[in-house]
Structure 1
């Protein structure tokens, strides 16, 4: 069922990312009057050419199982006769509304269960050009590839064939259940959104040459949930060989539910699914399939369902950290990083601080044991709630990103680490410097208010365009050659043994060891949590559960 079919200027946001808007695409071919034409396996497409850039939108890369066939892997898309109109974006995947007060609120013009489409921007004269495949963020709950922020023109103008992808979200994309596992030949369930992304990469392999792209030079790029998805793709055997590089903006390598057994003090994914069906009043999967998709999604969100990957032994064989520790991930070079102040709850008080310095120190000591002095050095009580906010950002996104940079380095691959710390007056006035997803307008070059959600602080600094141009130059040169560089830009050294990195402030600044002791503290804490059989990588600072003082020490 498609809802909200009225076209309007802007489309939706993700709880953490964004790209270009339009109306829902008709599922049937339409003869277009004029425009560039491309022939691919399912049929011919006609798009738009403007100033030497061609765009083709709403291209079905797979067929989603909907309604009574819901919760199946993606299928091959149907072919068509004639020329399919590819001038408008396809609908967003079904998702819940975002609160109006949220900085990420930008509701989609149209949604549908039949949403597995992608968009391509390419130079008109492209021949074996590097390819970037963009996966939007949004907590695996919201988002769409058609946001104005994600417009791919600035990448195509630099010689890249740019692809953006819709994938299933929320319970429709990430529900696991014992009945669904029983239906699967592999005995697994969940990860349907990840299977969509793999299908999109297979489509790129098979079809991107028709748009002037090189199927042997593909970079996967994502932010937040898109970065997490990119990390999933790095460890999934099903994605092996479908891409050769990765750009990972604010990822997470926390522990995830195992398919059928409780582990790390976390319920199994199948048990989480069974509890959700109970909350929905659905006696079985057949009853859940009978529910209207939007209603199911909104009720699941209200019930607290968290869409996330399932460690199923097949698509995600083991916990991410275990795969990186054993060196069994994809052997690809990476750009990986995070933002300086990921958590900044605009309009709210932030985490509640203890009433006194002594109480703060005592509570940290009860949680971190002999790691507490280092925690208190990095995140002192004198910084107030900002200390806990920065600890969470460092301990989730900073630790995860640097861990990937380190793991790829240990495989003998080039990995490039960054911190986005650029601020500008509109963000500074609202205490939103370096917040989660704040790098997106800069990494896409789409800085105008028309490209951003209504409550987003619009870049208005003197160096904003220069920062954006630098990021685009680094990102596109990496996609082309694996070496991020640009004329007049600082030399970005690989992470290496010196922990080299680049900090994006008013200009890119090269340095070593981004925040001395930060990675080592969070690595030691996560390692201790794993040794204790607990979940790791998400509950940081006072959000973590107290434990007896540990003998685990920081690894130098």
Structure 2
């Protein structure tokens, strides 16, 4: 199947590129450009084209700060509002049956990122698993995750949850078109990391996504991110004020200001909120009572999410990356106290040996954002659907020397088989290459088995609230029952702060 690089989609013919082991199609539009009258509107259908659309190069990344779209040491992908595209990678070897489909959603805090990053290219994973790999862009920051609905007019409706709506539209495109690329529309696994992992959980809680995917993998999700309607309204008002508009002039400003002016106003407002409310991330899906009826973590706990098999896990040292290179997590005692309160901080600190020393505080801050709410999702989803939990512990020597450990996003290297690239070999020298190959096999064999059958390898039992069995992905791998139980109990009941209370 799929011998040609010219593929007939529902919108027209697209032409990809043949490589040695894979066929690739890049920047295929799954929705109309959200510009002009479509700015801040739900994704609309693509206008069909005549002839052949060349799809061999990446187009634009979503609007963001230039640094977020870095794709090389000195190269950046151009950004624009016209970025609702996806990429398809297929093995060159023929297949007599439709292939399982994996759809990847990139991370970046809902503020940055692009599917054009070489790490996400997916050729090694597609070939090893004989699968079709799809990666997508979606609206970020101001254009995807701020609810300006307060400023709607009779002439223009400012809609909510646009980034999440984009992801649903991309999955709908997959359902309609992926068979033409040799994929099985009845066997789709959606997976993502960080904000992309949170997007996976949000899709579980989104009624419009029902039936568009059949398995889900969530790698390091900040699982209880969600803005209440009141918080979203307060944040949008502050963004409009930073843009230099009033509530009466907001609609005109939002429709006529340059994309970069709007982006800068929202980014600055977000940075201010991050400093004021440690632990609250205001660029997130909004519980609007309509497209997203409940916060994802609550919908999952109450059985109102899509009951599909789920793999979910975090990395042991999530916080170290942020402590060294970003200032957004509560990775100091003062910031953690501001996020959780004095009583909770005292209770939590007792379970982190060495606290308040920096190493223990950084681990606690990373656990607050990623591990703490993920455990809640593991327990909640396991009541209604097969759930498999993991923790990634592997640390190559270079990461140890850098003080990063098994930090946030380091799991993407084995998942995509990036250890065999020049960059991957560099970070595992000296030593660690054999271990990385072992954890690459663990990740990919389990991810691919899950995508094919809805369950990982038989050596990985399902998670239940009684056993809390967790796969520790390391060299060698092992199973643990209720790892870090004391910490889990200390974190119980802690939620992220709000903006309006």
Q: 1:216 to 1:179 in 2, by over 3 A?
A: same
2:360 is equivalent to residue 392 of structure 1 = no
Cα distance in 1 for residues equivalent to 2:150 and 2:317: 42
2:399 is equivalent to residue 436 of structure 1 = no
Cα distance in 2 for residues equivalent to 1:191 and 1:175: 7
Q: Name the residue aligned to 1:173.
A: 144
Spell out, residue by residue over 1:226-277, the C-alpha distance to the aligned partner (whole angstroms, 9 max, x if none): 0111111000111111111100001123253222xx3xxxxx3123112211
2:342 is equivalent to residue 367 of structure 1 = yes
| Richer in helix (by share) | 2
Deviation of 1:365 after TM superposition, in Å, equals 11
Alignment coverage as a number of residue pairs = 474
Q: 1:217 to 1:451 in 2, by over 3 A?
A: farther
Q: Name the residue aligned to 2:213.
A: 243
Q: 1:207 to 1:341 in 2, by over 3 A?
A: same
In the alignment, which of 461, 468, 484 is matched to residue 493 of structure 1?
A: 461
Q: Name the residue aligned to 1:550.
A: none
In the alignment, which of 158, 165, 171 is matched to residue 201 of structure 1?
A: 171
Cα distance in 1 for residues equivalent to 2:73 and 2:239: 26
Cα distance in 1 for residues equivalent to 2:117 and 2:147: 29
Cα distance in 2 for residues equivalent to 1:56 and 1:90: 12
Spell out, residue by residue over 1:387-422, the C-alpha distance to the aligned partner (whole angstroms, 9 max, x if none): 2221222222112222222122111x2111011111
Q: Secondary structure at the match of 2:23?
A: strand
Cα distance in 2 for residues equivalent to 1:348 and 1:173: 22
Q: Name the residue aligned to 1:320.
A: 296
Q: Name the residue aligned to 1:523.
A: 492
In the alignment, which of 21, 28, 40 is matched to residue 71 of structure 1?
A: 40
In the alignment, which of 421, 425, 449 is matched to residue 393 of structure 2?
A: 421
Q: 1:72 to 1:365 in 2, by over 3 A?
A: closer
In the alignment, which of 407, 412, 418 is matched to residue 446 of structure 1?
A: 418
Q: 1:409 to 1:362 in 2, by over 3 A?
A: closer
Deviation of 1:459 after TM superposition, in Å, equals 2.8
RMSD over aligned Cα atoms: 3.1
Asked if 2 retains the 8 angstrom alpha-carbon contact of 1:134 and 1:164, the reply is yes
Deviation of 1:182 after TM superposition, in Å, equals 5.1
Q: Name the residue aligned to 2:269.
A: 303
Q: Which runs of 4+ in 1 moved over 4 A?
A: 102-107, 179-185, 347-354, 360-366, 448-452
Asked if 1 retains the 8 angstrom alpha-carbon contact of 2:204 and 2:296, the reply is no
- More deviation, 68-77/440-449: 440-449
Q: Name the residue aligned to 2:276.
A: none
Q: Name the residue aligned to 1:407.
A: 380
Spell out, residue by residue over 1:469-495, the C-alpha distance to the aligned partner (whole angstroms, 9 max, x if none): 22111111101101212xxxx811111
Q: Name the residue aligned to 2:124.
A: 154
In the alignment, which of 77, 81, 89 is matched to residue 50 of structure 2?
A: 81
Q: Secondary structure at the match of 1:112?
A: coil
Q: Secondary structure at the match of 2:103?
A: strand
Structure 1, unmatched stretches of 5+, are: 1-33, 263-267, 355-359, 537-544, 546-556
TM-score, normalized by length of structure 1? Answer: 0.78
2:322 is equivalent to residue 339 of structure 1 = no
Deviation of 1:98 after TM superposition, in Å, equals 3.4
Q: Name the residue aligned to 2:31.
A: 62
Q: Secondary structure at the match of 1:417?
A: strand
Asked if 2 retains the 8 angstrom alpha-carbon contact of 1:251 and 1:401, the reply is yes
Cα distance in 2 for residues equivalent to 1:225 and 1:325: 20
Asked if 2 retains the 8 angstrom alpha-carbon contact of 1:131 and 1:163, the reply is yes
Deviation of 1:450 after TM superposition, in Å, equals 5.2
Structure 2, unmatched stretches of 5+, are: 272-281
- More deviation, 154-163/34-43: 34-43
TM-score, normalized by length of structure 2? Answer: 0.87
Cα distance in 1 for residues equivalent to 2:463 and 2:149: 43
Deviation of 1:327 after TM superposition, in Å, equals 0.6
Spell out, residue by residue over 1:335-383, the C-alpha distance to the aligned partner (whole angstroms, 9 max, x if none): 10001011112279995558xxxxx9999997226x844x233113456
Deviation of 1:200 after TM superposition, in Å, equals 0.1
Q: Secondary structure at the match of 2:478?
A: strand
